Amino acid sequence: MDHFKLCTKGSWVTALCILGLGTALTAQQTSSSSATGTMSANSAKTSALPSQINPSRFDIFLGYSYLAPHGTVNGQSYSAVDKGAIGSGAYYFDKYMGGEFSIAAHPDGSNDSFTTFNVGPIARLPMGDGTVTPFIHALVGAQL
């Protein structure tokens, strides 16, 4: 019975990762149509490039997570957890500063499971053509 519950949780985690990938990719798309709806070949090329960096207000991340504690606590040895997911969302108050929330779940360990929640500030520095944006974050949280 417990094995069935763990397999079901692992399936849900995998499904949420796949769904989240599509959501994250859709959220990053922008429109480049003109006001009249028609564009010449030259204006299409120039309007596709932003004249100014306009970073997103929200950032979403969903992905696979592998946990390998490689340790022993009070004589209890913990094994690796192969199935896991991590997700985070950030909201930016302005162009540079924001807040972030993160959750990671590793439900299918052979003798353990881990779920973590984190929250904290995030800062970014939009640069150049907007293809790379360095960021730094400081998160604090809890493990269940």
Tens of pLDDT along 5-37?
Answer: 445 555 655 665 555 555 444 444 444 444 444
More confident residue, 3 or 114: 114
Structural domain boundaries in the chain: 2-143
What's the mean pLDDT in 76-92? 90
| Residue 78 to residues 72, 75, 81, 83, 92, Cα–Cα distance (Å) | 6, 10, 9, 15, 38
Token digits of residue 19: 């769904």
Tens of pLDDT along 41-50?
Answer: 554 444 555 4
CB 105 within 8 A of CB 6: no
The model's pTM is 0.59
Tens of pLDDT along 103-127?
Answer: 999 887 776 788 999 999 999 998 8
